[in-house]
A and B are shown apart, each in its own frame.
Chain A
C-alpha cells in the first residue's frame, strides 16, 4: 500500500490523466466514466488526477516532518543519554513540556500568526515530532549504554561521541525506523486535518484534506467526492501502520514474541 502511494506520487510527477489545473466547467461533477475514472469535481477537474498529485503533497509532508523530528530529536535524545546529569534532565523536561502542548493547537497558533500555508503546517507537525524521537532515542540509547560492550568500549578509551556513533546509533536504528513510519502516518493525518480546515496546503496545489473540504459543500449533489480522498488518506495511513508493525517484527524479533 505504501509502495502504491509512492508509485502514485512518482507517477504524478511525470504524468497524470489530466492536468490538475484543467478546469472544465461544463463537465463538472461528472460521474465516473471511461474518460474520468473517478469522475470530476465542482470545477470539472479530474478526481483521479487530483488524488495522484495530492499523494505528492502527503509524502512531502511526511518526509519533512519526520525529517525534522529525526534530525533534531535523535541528536537531543542521544546527547541526553550520553551525558546524563542535568543535560538529560533539561532535555527531558523540555520534551515533556512540548508533549503537553497539543500538536494541532500549536499548528493552529502558528498559522494564526504566520498565515496558513504548507510550510507553516509542516514545521508545526515537525516540531511535534521532536520530543517523540528525543524520548524514544534516549530510552533506547540508555538501554545500550547499560550493556557490557559499551563499558568495554569505554574501558578501551573511546569517548562518548565515538561510542554513540559506533555502538549506540546502530543499535537503536531499528527502533527509530519503526517509530518513523508511525510518525509518518500521523503527519499525513495531521496535514490532512489542517488542509481540511484551510490552514495547510493552499489552492491550487491539490491536497487530500482540501479535497474533502471542497467535497463537503457538494455532499448532496456528489456524495462520492467525499469518499475518495478520505479513502486515499485511510489507505496510506493503514499501509504505513502495517509497515511499522511488520518492520518491528522483522527488526526486533524479541518484541514480536512478546505481543
Chain B
C-alpha cells in the first residue's frame, strides 16, 4: 500500500511539474512576446520596454520559471495586470464561488446518479430501467450551457422564483448570506449536474450489473442472503471502483465546465475570472488560473487513485501501472 501510494505520489509530482513547464512554455512561445500581447499592437516601443521590465522578461526563461513556481508554491504570485492585485488573492476570492458550486453540483450528481443507477440495475430491462436509460441518453446530448439558459428561462423569466444570474456574496454585510448564496448557486449547480448525472448513472448501472454476475454474489445468495442484502452488503462496495474513477474525472470536468456556466449566470467565480482575463489580455492571470485548475484536476485524480487502492486491495499489489 505504501509503495503504491509513493509511486502515485511520484507520478503526481512529475505530472504537476510537466504541466507547469507546458503552461509556462506555451506562454513563452507567444508570437512576439508577452508584453506585446498584453499591450496590443498599438503600444509604443517605450511602453513595451516598460512592461517587459515589469514582467521581468529581460531575465532568462529558466530564472523566470523558477521564480514563478516558487511564488505559486508560497502563495507569493505576480500582480494581475488589469486588477493590480496579486493573482493568489484574486483566485482565492473567486474560488469561494467556484468551489461551492462544484461541490454542490457533485453532491447532486452523486446522489441522483447512484439512486438512479442502482434502481435501473435492479430493474434491468424493465420499464424503469428503460426510462432511466432514455433520460440519461437525453442528458448526455444536452449542452450544459443550453440547459442553463433553459433553466433561467423557466425559473427566472417565467416563474420569477430566482434571479437570472449574479451572486449576492456569502456574508450578510454584502447583502448576501449563506442561504442567498446557496440559492444563487442552485440553478448553476443543476445545469452542471445534469450531464454528469447522465454519465454517472450509466456507469453505476453497468458496474452494478457487472458485479451482480460475479461468483461471490451467487455464493452470497446461495448462503441464504436476500437479494437486497447482497446488493447493499456485497455488490455496492465492489461496484464502486469504476464509479469512483469516473467521479474523479467528473469533478475535474465540473471545475472546467464551471467556466462556461459561470458566464451564463454571471457568477464571479474562477471561470469568470479567466474569461475576463482573456478579454483584458491579462496573461499573468490566465497563466496562474490555468495552472491552478490543472493542478486541482491532477490532485483530484491522485486522490481517486489512492482511494481506489483502499477500496480494491488487488491494486495494492502494485501492478496498477
A197 CB, nearest partner CB in chain B, Å: 6
Chain B 240-266 interface mask (CB, 8 Å, partner A; 1/0) = 000000000000110111011001100
Binds A, one of B93-101, B149-157, B172-180, B224-232: B149-157
Report the bound CA distance from A241 to B37 in whole Å.
Answer: 40
**A residues whose Cβ falls under 8 Å from a Cβ of B:** 96-97, 100-105, 108-114, 185, 189, 192-193, 196-197, 199, 209, 212, 215-216, 219-220, 223, 226-227, 229-230, 233-235, 237-238, 241-242, 259
Q: Measured between C-beta atoms, what is the minimum distance from B82 to chain A in Å?
A: 13
Interchain nearest-CB distance for A97 vs B (Å): 6
Judge whether A238 and B275 touch: CB under 8 Å.
no
| Chain B interface size, under 10 / 10 to 19 / 20 to 34 / 35 or more | 35 or more
Q: Which residue of A lies closest to B16 (CB)?
A: A100
Q: Contacts A97-B15, A101-B19, A113-B27: A226 and B153 contacting too (C-beta < 8 A)?
A: yes
Q: From residue 266 to 321 of chain B, which have CB atoms closer than 8 A to chain A?
A: 274-275, 277-278, 281, 283, 286, 290, 293-294, 297-298, 301
**Chain A positions within 8 Å of B206 at CB level:** 259
How far, in whole Å, are A100 and B12 apart by their CA atoms in the complex?
Answer: 10
How would you classify the secondary structure of chain B's contact residues: helix, strand, loop or mixed?
Answer: helix
Q: Note all chain A residues with C-beta closer than 8 A to B140.
A: 237-238, 241
| Contact between chains at B31 and A102 (CB < 8 Å) | no
Query: Which residues on B are within 8 Å of A, measured CB to CB?
Result: 15, 18-19, 22-23, 26-27, 30-31, 37, 137-138, 140-147, 149-150, 152-153, 157, 164, 206, 252-253, 255-257, 259-260, 263-264, 274-275, 277-278, 281, 283, 286, 290, 293-294, 297-298, 301
Question: What residues of B have a CB within 8 angstroms of the CB of A238 in the complex?
Answer: 137-138, 140-141
A104 to B277, Cβ gap below 8 A?
no
Given contacts A197-B275, A230-B146, A237-B140, contact A216 B283 (CB under 8 A): no
Measured CB to CB, the closest approach of chain A to B108, in angstroms, equals: 20
Q: A102-B256, A111-B278, A219-B157 are in contact. List 18 more A-B contacts (CB 8 A).
A: A100-B298, A105-B256, A108-B286, A108-B290, A109-B23, A109-B26, A113-B31, A114-B31, A185-B141, A192-B146, A193-B143, A193-B260, A196-B145, A196-B263, A219-B149, A227-B153, A234-B146, A238-B138
List 29 A-B pairs, Cβ < 8 Å. A96-B15, A97-B19, A100-B15, A100-B301, A102-B252, A102-B253, A102-B293, A104-B259, A105-B256, A105-B259, A105-B290, A108-B275, A108-B286, A109-B23, A111-B278, A112-B278, A113-B26, A113-B27, A113-B31, A193-B145, A216-B149, A219-B157, A226-B149, A230-B150, A235-B141, A238-B140, A238-B141, A241-B137, A241-B141
- Asked if B138 contacts A192 (CB within 8 A), the reply is no
Residues of A within 8 A of B278 (CB): 108, 111-112, 199
What is the chain B residue whose CB lies nearest that of A245?
Answer: B137
B260–A100 touching, CB < 8 Å: no
Known contacts A100-B15, A100-B298, A219-B152, A234 near B141 by CB under 8 Å: yes
**With the chains together, A185 CA to B195 CA distance in Å?**
14
In whole Å, how far is B55's beta carbon from the nearest beta carbon of chain A? 15
Chain A proximity of B152: nearest CB distance (Å): 7
